Amino acid sequence: MTLDEAAIRDRARALLAEHDPARTDRVTFLRARFDAGLAWVHYPEGLGGLGAPRELQQVVERELEGTPQLDVGKMGIGLGMAAPTILTFGTEEQKRRYLRPLWTGEEIWCQLFSEPGAGSDLATLATRAVRDGDEWVVDGQKVWTSGAHLSRWAILVARTDPDVPKHRGLTYFVCDMHAPGVDVRPLRQITGEAEFNEVFLTGVRLPDTLRLGEVGEGWRVAQHTLMNERVAIGGAPGRRGGGLMGIVARTWRERPEIRTHDLHGRLLHLWVEAEVTRLAGARLREQLAAGAPGPEGSGMKLAFARLNQALSGIDVEMRGEEGLGYDDWTFRRSDTVDFVGRGPGYRYLRAKGNSIEGGTSEILRTIIAERVLGLPAEPRVDKDVPWKDLPR
């Protein structure tokens, strides 16, 4: 049975009638919402959804306005990357075990993909997982792990077969971040704070039930995760003149003394670019809702990074003297990812990461060129060579 708007609305109202958000604690309400299938309506029944068209989620959001909401700054990796991967590749037990606390925020997720020696060339990663009976023993080092210090679980890609070419010897796991041998150390960034971590894995034992997908299928599973990440980073809905553009425009309006013709021209350029990017994102979401996903996802992240960097740069520049200051260099661990918070200097520096995290802009351009435009790949020296024989 496909559900229509009215049926969804009825369900949302029934949820509110049974669990008055004013008198229900946050987690209880979110659990009830998940169990009512109103977490993500396009997910299957029993897993927080109703198997309904994705666009009906808007109906739920409208009906449940003002009720406890998700902390998406903390839960970005879980919602945007782990959940779609578990849904696609997980066993029934895995789906039932992980998706509910992931969605309610009771369990935070992080991502153990990049390594000091494997960034853009992720498939060359060296963290080893060796089978030992019903368990895997994991050794290696991961890096750029947002929120590892808050996380209960991680999605992990490790090498299970060094004797085959790099893409074929990988396996995808759920990593227990509380397991012995998991050591999380903060990694200080150019902003002064530590949003990321280094994660050292030493003799970490993971039961085989934590494997996602088949042994050796890790690259295919990871591709799925990364595509979802890029849509999640670049495809956030917005309103006209919102986000960083809104912050810059407000400064411009509040301070007539900073206005020059040169800045005005550049701001109008950026306003138009922000708006066409927003429209492209809206069109992409329409395509997704209509069940015809376009290849625009990687492009949205590319456009978002360029725009954010340009806007955050002009934001510092146009403040003149004030731009010479910085709000706070104190070393601290942040527990949320925030592109529009704090001062202009912080935003400028944080935006530099937008063209690196989740696939550098250079890698994204190559993906677009090869997978969307069908241009031939660069000659590859590493393609058919067993991973262990690659030059390093």
Partner 1 sequence: MTLLYSEVEEELRAAVRGLLADRHPPATVIARVEAASPYDADLWKTLARDIGVAGLLVPEELDGAGATAREAAVVLEELGRAVTPVPFLTSSVLATQALVAAATDAAAPLLTALATGQTTAALAVSFATSPYVFPATGAPGTAAGGAVTAGTAGGAASAGTAGEAVTVGADGTLSGRVRAVAGADVADVLIVPASGALYAVDAADAAVNPLVSLDMTRPVADVTFTAAPARRVAEDLEPLRTALRYGAGLLASEQLGVAEWCLTTTVAYVKERRQFARPVGSFQALKHRLADLWMEIVQARAAARNAADALATGTDTDTAVAIAQAWCGTVAVHAAEECVQLHGGIGMTWEHPAHLYLKRAKADEIALGTPAAHRTSLATPAGLPSPPA
Catalogue the active-site residues. 229
Angle at 323 between CA 319 and CA 325, to 5 degrees: 145
Verify binding: residue 276, partner 1, rule CB under 8 A. Answer: yes
Verify binding: residue 376, partner 1, rule CB under 8 A. Answer: yes
Least separation in angstroms between CB 154 and partner 1: 31
Of the listed pieces 45-53, 124-132, 133-141, 373-381, which binds partner 1 according to CB under 8 A?
373-381
3-state helix, strand, coil in the chain (%, to 5): 50, 15, 35
Among residues 374 and 391, whose Cβ is nearest to partner 1?
374
Verify binding: residue 362, partner 1, rule CB under 8 A. Answer: yes
- Candidate list 38, 182, 303, 351; residue touching partner 1; CB under 8 A: 303
Verify binding: residue 239, partner 1, rule CB under 8 A. Answer: no
Verify binding: residue 366, partner 1, rule CB under 8 A. Answer: yes
* Orientation of helix 26-35 relative to helix 92-104, angle to 10°: 140
Verify binding: residue 255, partner 1, rule CB under 8 A. Answer: no
- Candidate list 161, 296, 315, 357; residue touching partner 1; CB under 8 A: 296
Counting residues that bind partner 1 (by CB under 8 A) gives 46
Verify binding: residue 383, partner 1, rule CB under 8 A. Answer: no
Among residues 287 and 336, whose Cβ is nearest to partner 1?
287
Q: Please state, in angstroms and as integers, the Cα–Cα distance from residue 195 to each residue in 63, 120, 340, following that order.
A: 34, 20, 15
Q: Number of helices (H) and strands (E) in the chain: give both, helices first.
A: 12, 8
Name the residue among 102, 114, 204 with its Cα closest to residue 153: 102
Verify binding: residue 244, partner 1, rule CB under 8 A. Answer: no
Verify binding: residue 122, partner 1, rule CB under 8 A. Answer: no
Applying the rule CB under 8 A, the residues between 203 and 222 that interact with partner 1 are none
Q: Is the dihedral of CA 13, 18, 22, 26 positive or negative?
A: negative
Q: Please state, in angstroms and as integers, the Cα–Cα distance from residue 61 to each residue in 6, 35, 65, 240, 250, following that order.
A: 14, 16, 6, 20, 28
H-helix or E-strand spanning residue 302: helix 296-317
Verify binding: residue 302, partner 1, rule CB under 8 A. Answer: yes
The secondary structure of 221-276 as a DSSP string is: HHHHHHHHHHHHHH-----TT-HHHHHHHHHHHH-GGG--HHHHHHHHHHHHHHHH
- Candidate list 131, 185, 279, 331; residue touching partner 1; CB under 8 A: 279
Distance between CA atoms of residues 38 and 49, nearest Å: 6
Amino acid at 91: T
Verify binding: residue 27, partner 1, rule CB under 8 A. Answer: no
Least separation in angstroms between CB 366 and partner 1: 6
Binding footprint of partner 1 on the chain (CB under 8 A): 241, 249, 252-253, 256, 259-261, 263-265, 267-269, 271-273, 275-277, 279-280, 282-283, 286-287, 290, 296, 299, 302-303, 362, 364-366, 368-370, 372-379
